[in-house]
Amino acid sequence: MSARNAAAGGGDRVGGEPAADVLVEDKQSGSVSLPSPMTPASAAGMSVTMEMPRKRKSSVDNQDTKSASMDMDIEDMDESHNGSDGEDQHVKMKCFREPHSQIEKRRRDKMNNLIDKLSAMIPTCNPMSRKMDKLTVLRMAVQHLKSLKGSSSSFSEANYKPSFLPNDELKHLILKAADGFLFVVGCDRGKIVFVSESVTKILNYSRAELIGQSLFDYIHPKDMGKVKEQLSASELFPRERLIDAKTGLQVQADLPVGAARLCTGARRSFFCRMKINKICVKVEEKEFQASTSKKKESQKYCTVHCTGYMRSWPTTQLGAEGEGEGEGEGEADKQDSSHFSCLVAVGRVHSHSSTQVNGEVRIKPTEFITRYAMDGKFTFVDQRATTILGYLPQELLGTSCYEYFHQDDLPHLADRHRKVLRSKEKIETNCYKFKTKSGSFVTLQSQWFSFVNPWTKEVEYLVSTNTVISCDNSRTCRLGNKAEQSSTSKSSEDGKKSLPVIPGISTTPGAMIYAGSIGTQIANELLDSNRMNSSPSSGSVSPFSLSQDKCPHNQIGNNVPYGEATDMEIAGKSSSEEDAQGATFSGAESLMGENPQMDLDSVVGPGLGSDEAAMAVIMSLLETDTNLGEAVDFEEMHWSL
């Protein structure tokens, strides 16, 4: 940035751009006055003296500076003439720091740049291979403009205001940009008094079809109430709800309701759904219709954001005003009431979602957190899970995670489950597949750790941080899985064998329940181990001893008491699963046996009487399946300290 600009306040200036010393014809800034004798040369100088209330004394100095440089192209002034005086002062100061030649050079470059751009736009200049000099380009520009003026219409220096665009062009551009249409509806019956042509692009109805009809015929039935309210003058909704922008609080209108609602200028803004006309026409229409929101065979709607004003005219004036109001507005309804009030609004099609352009905020979508109870049932699901899994949290809560794991992954995940229940560390799983709502599988990799209540020293829940693995990584994960499986081949095979392959395992409800109970089993093992650990005297009753050395295979024989408990647990489920349960159990057990990481010393449970404990275990087993996953039962179990 140039030093001048830096001085002028840190880059909020147009960089070196010579100003348009245009006097503001603004309606608001009435304070800007225009001294009459103006020549182009002195314009720059004179504009320095344009009065703004906070005028500085240095203007005189600047004037001298200006007049001195009048021979050269003056425009050293910046965009806003109002700021120029201060700036010129800076220029004067800056003369010491920046040679004038630099300023000049910059100005010349800017000018040359503009000339180049101009020559690029002028058709006659374009084909010329060599660069043309400034004067020639300008002359050609003049020619070109003359030719343009000749062909297009309205730039005669006549009565009305000339503008860069013919007004109807502007109108079209606005409607195109806004993707909208203008409409005027009478307030009492919702009669469409006027609608602009662009409505055809949006709703597919022609103007003729719409004018004179009731707006309510074209609005979604559920939105009719809303629109009626916006149009109505009745006392149906007595409370005016306006917001004061400064305080953000609601403001009660001072005026009585009717008047306030209808007073000219009262602003309206609402969304409603409007019908789209389906006509069987040419191929081009299909593209248009495909872009509308609902894709049903029935009536299609698009959401339209309507903003506008209420206007009311006394009916006496309508005859005279009719023509003066411009296209179409004059077609007024003769009302009995003294005023014809209507809503003049622009309806813009509301795009379905905020358009996502590059550079938006990116959240890492590949991770989410879930929490399981000890038996693998979801007790908390991070909201991010929905984007990945397709389920809303409430759909997962209370269900066992095993229902979603792919069957190939069940053994190793069950193994991990066991591990984490007994370990204080974070346990990583390999990649596994998780079933999404749509039925497809997403590859995840998780890190589990168990949260142990420091007071009771019991595992309260498991926290799982799940990362989505993209397809490229899944290969390596697969290998990892295979390696893992081969190392524990015996156990996994046992495990696999002991999980009888039921045809259609992932889809039949029977299989689901079966899978879900894996978690329960694992949890129960832990409970039992806790119980056993705390009361070694009841070793005979327990299904397995918890000494590390002992091989758990002998304990299959002790299945019976547990089998009973298990039977009770699955009372009410199909009996065909009993065997499966048992088999699972043994299989799971064998897995556990292989696992040298039973750090049972870390699992310390408070002491329990054996009978009470047995009862409590049975009760908890009954409860486990029915509750929604809160770890209430385990706490209950241990309350009898």
Binders in 103-162 for another protein, by CB under 8 A: 110-111, 114-115, 117-118, 121-123, 134-135, 138-139, 141-142, 144-146, 148-149, 151-156, 158-162
CA nearest to 220, candidates 114, 293, 142, 318: 293
Q: Which stretch binds another protein (CB under 8 A): 284-292, 448-456, 565-573, 576-584?
A: 284-292
Q: How many CA atoms lie within 13 A of 141 on its CB side?
A: 15
Choice between 144 and 478, CB closer to another protein: 144
CB 310 within 8 A of CB 260: no
Q: Which helix H or strand E contains 118, and what residues bound it? A: helix 100-121
CB 445 within 8 A of CB 496: no
* 540 lines the binding site for another protein (CB under 8 A): no
Question: Cα(197)–Cα(200) distance, rounded to whole angstroms?
Answer: 6
Segment 439-478, which members bind another protein (CB under 8 A)?
A: none
Q: Which stretch binds another protein (CB under 8 A): 35-43, 95-103, 552-560, 586-594?
A: 35-43
Choice between 153 and 486, CB closer to another protein: 153
Q: Least distance in Å: CB of 399 to another protein?
A: 10
* 57 lines the binding site for another protein (CB under 8 A): no
* 43 lines the binding site for another protein (CB under 8 A): yes
Binding mask 253-282 for another protein (x = CB under 8 A): --------x----xxxxxx-x-------xx
Choice between 41 and 556, CB closer to another protein: 41
Segment 177-206, which members bind another protein (CB under 8 A)?
A: 177-179, 182, 196-197, 200-201, 206
Binding mask 62-91 for another protein (x = CB under 8 A): ---------x-xxx-xxxx-xx--xx----
Segment 396-425, which members bind another protein (CB under 8 A)?
A: 397-398
Choice between 181 and 544, CB closer to another protein: 181
Task: Please report the DSSP string for 244-272 in residue order.
Answer: -TTT--EE--SS-HHHHHHSTT-EEEEEE
Binding mask 236-255 for another protein (x = CB under 8 A): -x--xxxxxxxxxxxx----
Asked whether the CA dihedral 130, 134, 138, 139 is positive or negative, the reply is negative
Residues contacting 37, CB < 8 A, separation 6+ = none
The long-range contacts involving 293-300, CB below 8 angstroms and separated by at least 24 positions, are 293/352, 299/275, 300/275, 300/276
Q: Which of 104, 325, 331, 367 binds another protein (CB under 8 A)?
A: 325
Question: Cα(118)–Cα(83) distance, rounded to whole angstroms?
Answer: 28
Q: Least distance in Å: CB of 519 to another protein?
A: 19
CB 379 within 8 A of CB 373: yes
CA distances to 46, 107, 123, 343 from 137, rounded to whole Å, are 29, 18, 11, 51
Q: Which stretch binds another protein (CB under 8 A): 390-398, 488-496, 531-539, 633-641?
A: 390-398
| CA angle, 242 then 245 then 251, to 5° | 30
Q: Which of 100, 128, 167, 615 binds another protein (CB under 8 A)?
A: 167
Choice between 100 and 550, CB closer to another protein: 100
